[in-house]
Amino acid sequence: MNMFETKDGTSIFYKDWGTGPVVTFSHGWPLSSDAWDAQMLFLGMQGYRVVAHDRRGHGRSGQTWGKDNMDQYADDLAELIEHLDLKEIAMVGHSTGGGEVARYIGRHGNARVKKAVLISAVPPIMLKSESNPGGLPMSVFDGIRAGVAGDRSQFYKDLSIPFYGYNKPDAKISEGVREAFWRLGMQSSIIGSYDCIKAFSETDQNEDLKKIEVPLLVIQGDADQIVPIDDSGRLTVKIVKNARLEVIPGAPHGLCTTHADVVNQHLLTFLKS
């Protein structure tokens, strides 16, 4: 397995496939880089070098205590990029991974980045407040914490239903997809999963978005039940100067799986533009 060690001694697992222009992928919670299989296979076969890592506390990477926050996630990504000496990168992030991409640019700049893509991403900020009235109340995230701290195995099985929009009347449910979501979730550490909830819900990334100077594509479904589009994607394109929003009708939060063909074509078109 490809592994490297961060400055604080944490082992990070990563995939590095293919040759050509570089595309990095940052995954959502509580998953791992395996969640990008459809995109990495497709783009790899289109002549791109595809790189994805398991965030600390998730998948095959090391498990730490008290270090699962957006700053650390972004710094780990920066160390991976420096470790592989990647340049002119197209950075892609889904959900929490979108926050990771935005915070990377916010902390480490645009120098190594050529383009960026945020898919169903958590920025600007998910938590409801006086300055963010369209956000979700703290009770929602407290409920997620209770689910993880209680019976997280059952919680992940239940969460897979709205994650992939399988509670819609016309949904074609894949039990294989649900089982894969559960498997990847259970590979994460319980503390990593628990602390990441605060990271993805309470991190204010308005200033990070303002620092994005490269072309940005935002992809989101209008049926996203996890990260509502009105308080995420539609706000993001108003903040980032050179940003464009592609709305996929009827697509859920887990659209990289349920609508992989559509997402892949949007990515390829943007990468070639």
pLDDT at 165: 98
User: How many helices and strands in the chain, by DSSP H and E?
Assistant: 11, 8
pLDDT at 1: 77
Residue ranges making up the domain that contains 159:
3-272
Beta strand 89-94 pairing with 11-17: unpaired
Kindly list the catalytic residues. 95, 224, 253
Confidence of residue 210 (pLDDT cuts 50, 70, 90): very high
Question: Please, what is the average pLDDT of the chain?
Answer: 98
How many CA atoms lie less than 13 Å away from 272 in the CB half-sphere? Answer: 9
pLDDT at 4: 97
- Are 39 and 267 a contacting pair, CB within 8 Å? yes
Determine phi and psi for 210, rounding to 5 degrees.
-65, -20
20-65: per-residue pLDDT in tens? Answer: 999 999 999 999 999 999 999 999 999 999 999 999 999 999 999 9
Token representation of residue 173: 């449910």
In this model, does residue 214 exceed pLDDT 90? Answer: yes
Confidence of residue 116 (pLDDT cuts 50, 70, 90): very high
- The percent of residues in the chain predicted with pLDDT above 90, rounded, is 99
61-111: per-residue pLDDT in tens? Answer: 999 999 999 999 999 999 999 999 999 999 999 999 999 999 999 999 999
The pTM of this model reads: 0.97
In this model, does residue 135 exceed pLDDT 80? Answer: yes
Q: Quick one: how far is CA 84 from the chain centroid? A: 21
Which residues are within 8 A (CB) of 62 and not within 5 positions of it... i.e. 6 or more apart?
10, 11, 12, 56
234-245: per-residue pLDDT in tens? Answer: 999 999 999 999
Amino acid residing at 126: M
How far apart are alpha carbons 219 and 161 in whole angstroms?
A: 21
Q: What CATH number is attached to the domain comprising 205?
A: 3.40.50.1820
When divided into structural domains, the chain yields a total of 1
